[in-house]
Amino acid sequence: MRLAWWLPLIVATAGAAGACSSKSSGGGSTPGDDGGTTSQGYTFQPNGCAYKVVVPATFAFTDFAADDAAAAGVAPTRVRIGLGGATTMGQPGYADPSTTAAFTWETASATNAAKVKIGTDPNALTDVHAGYSWTTPPPVAGLGADEPETHFHEAHVCGLTPGKTYYYQVGGGSPEVWSATQSFTTVPSSGKVTVGLLGDARDQFTTWQLVHQRMRDAGVNLMLVSGDIVDIGTIASLYAKWLDAIWKDPADTSKFLTLGQVMMVPIAGNHENEAARFFGNFAIPGDNQYAKKYASFNAGNTHFVMLDDEQIAVNETPTDEVKAQLAWLDADLAKANADRAAHPFIVVVSHRALVSSSRHALDSDVLQTRGALVPIFDKYAVDLVVNGHDHEYERSNPVKAGTPPTGPVVVQSSGGTVYLIAAGAGADPYEVGTGSVDYRKTTTKFGQGTPYIGCYAIATLDANKLTIEGFGLKSGAGPDVSIDKFELTH
């Protein structure tokens, strides 16, 4: 068995500072500070933000440059909204989806034009912020190596008003070229917040598109993706196809679906292959050499943790990255547990299905990940863990780690963590577990003669309640079927 290496690693550690607390200046252009390339990669200081953007050298991006107003303008495409910020809860710069937005886009050719202009009136986009550009090269060998490099741009805006609708365009240059005007609403800082939970989209982009239509129609404030957006993370054309599917409204391409309209924060799954292509496509918080591998933020009544479990799963001996992840997780959850009065719930999103009765339930990498993470979740009474990996919908009873922690133990009275799998945003279906399994509360499959082509969940955060409703996705306009609903209270 290879299930004991994590035990000495579950220790707290001090993290680096990291949310936007200062108001960005209104009117005119506010340039960022290009920190340049260092041994740790590239750093950029967005104007008005209390955090630095850190791009690890391991991503192997090239051609970094701050916005150049004299650069040729090139039409932006596939504009998306993610989240920047640091990862130390309570420190300046800590990621905050109610006051911060990170805009990422591509251009067909290289340019160092990288600005966003934003405002609360679509006819008065007077607040202009400079960003930076880079190139994501193809892998040196293997799948995707024959595809061209990709030209990316990103600009961060801080000091936004919670629960406020903003309009924006990205682009710039000379002569100026701007994207079409899009809009988004920042996450409310209080009151009801709705969060879309989805994952595993990698096989059918039309199903992925349909799930996002449901997210738009439900009016979610935020979308969290538990990995495996595409089948092979090194292939750029797959990201283009899957993101195109959720950018323009398929019913009217002059309008938009969710991309660039709703903040989306994904975490990598195993099919992302820890590839530069994945990390280049999405803005995810992080301010050190392991940026985009772990992050947390508060939304509504909940503390959310996003955790890339790939290195934990595949390394029989813990690497420096694994040690850093687990130390950060312990420290972050300790702070979150002490902050229950303000944010009573703790929810973790990662890829591998830690408590499942489906195909991957007994895989060695899943057991290793379970052994490393579940004791930490138990230590800080995490309320809910949302996973993908097994293509089904499944919810556990409240459970804790066994001894050794390779098998979950059902909690009969109070306490324990609920594990939820909502992994049907396009992936081909798996069979669900059969027989009597004490840790399984409910499970629903899709495809295979069912009326569903996928599944997803929506969380409603309100006061002392966290309500999760799972849906079986039906083709066309639906309506979808509620396949599960449960409520957690504090």
- The pLDDT tens digits for 12-26 are 322 333 333 333 333
Q: Where are the domains of the chain?
A: 21-186, 188-490
**Is the pTM value of this prediction over 0.85?**
yes
Average pLDDT, rounded, for the chain: 92
The mean per-residue pLDDT over the stretch 417-438 comes to 94
Per CATH, the number for 21-186 is 2.60.40.10
As given in the structure block, the two tokens for residue 334 are: 């300790």
The mean per-residue pLDDT over the stretch 197-212 comes to 98
Report which of 416, 464, 461, 468 is spatially closest to residue 442, judged by C-alpha positions: 468
d(CA 305, CA 350): 8
d(CA 328, CA 461): 25
Per CATH, the number for 188-490 is 3.60.21.10
Contact criterion met (CB below 8 Å) for 99 and 160: yes
Residue 242 above 80 pLDDT?
A: yes
Q: According to the model, what pLDDT value does residue 69 have? A: 96
d(CA 86, CA 483): 37
The mean per-residue pLDDT over the stretch 374-401 comes to 97
Cα 29–Cα 79–Cα 65 angle in degrees, nearest 5: 50
Local confidence band at 406 (pLDDT 50, 70, 90 cut-offs) = confident
Residue 170 above 90 pLDDT?
A: yes
Q: According to the model, what pLDDT value does residue 30 have? A: 65
As given in the structure block, the two tokens for residue 456 are: 């997803």
d(CA 99, CA 240): 28
